[in-house]
Chains A and B, each alone.
Chain A
Amino acid sequence: MLKSEIYVPVGKRNVAYAVTAALFALLITKFFILQIYRHDSLFEQSEDNRVRFITTYAPRGKVLDRNGSILVANRAVYTISVIRDEAVEEEQELRTVADYLGMTIEEVNRNLNKYYRGRFLPARIARDVPIERLSLVEEHRNQLPGVIYSEFPVRFYPELEEVRASHVLGYLREITSSELGNSDYLPGDFIGAQGVEKEFESVLRGEKGTSFQQVDAYGRQVGTVEERTPIPALPGEDIRLTIDRNLQGNIEDILEGEIGAAVVLDAVMGEVLAMVSKPDYSLEDFAGFMEADVWGKYLNDSDNPLLNRAVQGIYPPGSAMKLITTIAALEDGLVDPRRTVSCSGTYHYGDRDYGCWKEEGHGNVNLSKAIVESCNIYFYQLMERIKLDSWHRYATMFGFGEKSGVEVSEEYGGIVPNTAFMDGKYGRRGWTKGYLLNMAIGQGDILATPLQMAQFAALLATKGEMPKLTLLQVQSESKTKRVHDRLYLKQSTWSRIRRMLFDVVNSSDGTAYSPYFADSAINYFGKTGTAQNPHGEPHAWFIGFAEKGAKKIALAVLIEHGGTGGSAAAPPAARIVRDYFRDEEGQLTLR
């Protein structure tokens, strides 16, 4: 026999009965009070005191350019939601509302399941509802208990006709279930997916609020709840970018129809004045709720407009890297700038011939002529004297091989090979000095982004004093917080490089000669690049900087498969510089 079946003392049993009876008495008393004694007053209250919690969405912060022009603002769209607990004949209601909204019942049910968070919470079934359809639903509100509408802020681009800046500004997309995790986002919320929208998500997003509506038993709004103060939505903070809308828009026009990128920096402040990647996308397509076919169109576009080539495109830098080779040789005392090398168009090293872009050769070239006319043979021979790791050290000093840290989360760091890299890729005995000759002229395994190339030009312009790059405009005193690791080179090296870069664009022999600047007050410097690649025509590069008074800008222009740097990249670069300074002086009004 189990112990539980043993006789229980009467006293203890009576206590159990007494306690049970007492608890029941309590329950019955409370029940009597609620169901009978206070029935009338509670019934009356229940008719109009149900509280509905409505989420109010916070408008995201605006995005302004450096002069305060609004690049991104907000507008409201209407969404329709269903609170399942308040729906009486749910299926019938959903069919009716689907009919009013011009949707199929399958679409409505799919959205209902996707955004369902509980019986008492609104689940969004339709978005971006036109006002005429919303009116139809509202007119029949009495037959649709539990169906409510709300405003939802989406992005709006007031200057889209003048400036797109798609890749800089980025877009929002609906949060995925994996991102929801333990975050305070809700299904259906929008989150920054690219550009500054993503980078400054926490600043821009703001905080949702809650309003309390008093509704009757049929879900009809009968007023606000006086005892509960609404929690207002807190708008996100505005941010001011360093982007100059005039310059950005002008470059977008100049590069229209090309596949490439251009970056312009304020070399003194380290600020990104313009960052253009072409082709780009229409921000309006991403402003609210994107349709699947539009998204598919972008994904399947072979020109890849979603790619921000300025920071995600990695290309062989071509002849601009001759400057790194020059700097390494000058700093380590491995070159006499006056010594000449004979260029016959080819150079035999090991068991193969290395060519110059000028097949008939440059004749006798010294260092200056080699830069100005971009002679490959000179640099093949120079590289023979430079150790790979020394060359790598100078390249990384100028920011190659690592992210610049500009506030674009998608930035790539590129590649600058060193001995460890080459050993890892080809094996310790798998590569020879011959591999390095190509690197001297920016070919081979080295890869860089247009932003890195512009940063390189800016460091040359400022003799290594430029602060770290930023897209966010801050008070000038904060500039000290962004100090780049100061780059120390011999004064003679800086001067020599500067003089050679000046000649590239101002000497008639220069690969980027532009007569306009010879008669201008603008001091313009630069270097072309023509990067061979196995996929077709070479990529055309131009990097440079320009000074006028205290103003100093640096830029990089890349045209994918554009041909030579001198013919394809230098002309748009010259136009960018010319227009920028004319706009600054009010001689030309861009946009």
Chain B
Amino acid sequence: MIPLVTKLGSASIRWLMVSFVLVGFGLIALYSIASDAEEISLSSRFVKHALWILPSLIIFVVCFSPSTKTIHKFAYTAFGVGLCLLLVPFLTGTVAGTHRWISMGSVNFQPSEPIKWLLVIALARYLSDYNLEMKKIYSLAFPIVMVLIPAAVILRQSDLGSAIIVLTPVIPMLYWVDAKPVHLFLLVAPILSIVTAFNYYSFTLWIIILSVILYRSRSTLRVS
């Protein structure tokens, strides 16, 4: 196993920075919405929430420690466990009227949080393990199903926001493994159609863009 320090040293600083900048944004937002933010003390709401950074850092280090090979080896198992955990709230009853949380005394655990990154890792393994012909549209089927299952369960928990977050990474990941951009476009087109349909001008604009793209991709989309 590569020592942690060595691993941290070889990590992409740019991507680590992205993570910490996002955490910084979160803290600023938290500070501005906490009504008692002016009085910073251990009991103030801002500090109480901000203190969660400490366990988060520990979890970050723990997750960062295993080698890439170890992560690769257990990617599917971890995803499977994550999927099972997603179902637990349906068995343990509602918390605040939804099935989002697993209640553990004074702490509630939301299994849809870890599934977001467990899915990305499992999907990465699938896309890297096989010599998939990503130019063929049918190669997209399995990754899409892999994403839809947890998304559907999370949607059933009444958590539309998390369901959308679970769905989103599949598009850039498929792009990364050489899926045809026009195929990816077809995947998101229905969603964009729904979003733009609420406004006459945006929908008209969308239809024009759609028509142009479909016209330019006619040779790619032809079914022989």
Contact = CB atoms under 8 A, between A and B. Distances in A.
Interface in B125-162: 128-129
Contacts of B72: 2
Interface of B: 18, 21, 25, 28-29, 32-33, 35-36, 43, 68-69, 72, 96-97, 124, 128-129, 172, 175-176
A4 B97 CA distance: 42
A2 B96 contact: no
Given A3-B128, A5-B68, A19-B172, 11 more contacts: A2-B68, A2-B72, A4-B128, A15-B175, A16-B172, A20-B18, A27-B25, A31-B25, A31-B29, A35-B28, A218-B35
Contacts of B21: 24
B106 to A, nearest CB: 10
A453 B18 CA distance: 83
A35 B128 contact: no
A180 to B, nearest CB: 9
Nearest to A118: B96
A218 B38 CA distance: 13
Contacts of B97: 117-118
A217 B34 CA distance: 9
A154 B29 CA distance: 44
Interface in A6-49: 8, 12, 15-16, 19-20, 24, 27, 31, 34-35, 46
B36 A88 contact: yes
A119 to B, nearest CB: 9
A2 B69 contact: yes
A39 to B, nearest CB: 8
Contacts of A218: 35
Nearest to B68: A2
Interface in A71-108: 88-89
A89 B43 contact: yes
Contacts of B28: 31, 35
Contacts of B29: 31
A2 B32 contact: no
A531 B134 CA distance: 89
Nearest to B21: A24
Residue from the set A2, A15, A89 with the largest chain B CB neighbour count within 10 Å: A2
Contacts of B129: 3
B105 to A, nearest CB: 11
Main secondary structure, interface of B, reads helix
Given A2-B72, A16-B176, A20-B18, A217 B35 contact: yes
Interface of A: 2-5, 8, 12, 15-16, 19-20, 24, 27, 31, 34-35, 46, 88-89, 117-118, 217-218
Contacts of B36: 88
Contacts of B176: 8, 12, 16
A117 B96 contact: yes
A4 B35 contact: no
Contacts of A12: 175-176
Nearest 4 CB-CB pairings of A with B: A3-B128, A217-B35, A118-B96, A4-B128
Contacts of B172: 16, 19
A20 B21 CA distance: 13
B219 to A, nearest CB: 22
Nearest to A86: B35
9 contacts: A3-B128, A4-B124, A8-B176, A12-B176, A16-B176, A20-B18, A31-B29, A35-B32, A118-B96
A20 B22 CA distance: 12
B61 to A, nearest CB: 21
Contacts of A34: 32
Nearest to B44: A88
Contacts of A117: 96-97
A117 B175 CA distance: 43
B30 to A, nearest CB: 12
Contacts of B175: 12, 15
Contacts of B69: 2
Nearest to A30: B25
Contacts of A88: 36
Contacts of A8: 176
A46 B37 CA distance: 13
Contacts of A2: 68-69, 72, 128
A27 B29 CA distance: 12
Nearest to A85: B45
A132 B175 CA distance: 69
A81 to B, nearest CB: 16
A217 to B, nearest CB: 4
B146 to A, nearest CB: 17
Nearest to A43: B32
B74 to A, nearest CB: 14
A532 B129 CA distance: 86
Contacts of B96: 117-118
Nearest to A15: B175
Contacts of B33: 46
B24 to A, nearest CB: 10
A179 to B, nearest CB: 14
B101 to A, nearest CB: 11
A117 B94 CA distance: 10
A15 B171 CA distance: 13
A88 B25 CA distance: 25
A15 B181 CA distance: 12
A46 B96 CA distance: 25
B13 to A, nearest CB: 14
A428 to B, nearest CB: 48
A12 B178 CA distance: 9
Residue from the set B18, B21, B29, B96 with the largest chain A CB neighbour count within 10 Å: B96
Nearest to A50: B35
A118 B108 CA distance: 12
Nearest to B35: A217
A80 to B, nearest CB: 21
A29 to B, nearest CB: 12
Nearest to A219: B35
Residue from the set B35, B68, B176 with the largest chain A CB neighbour count within 10 Å: B35
Nearest to B72: A2
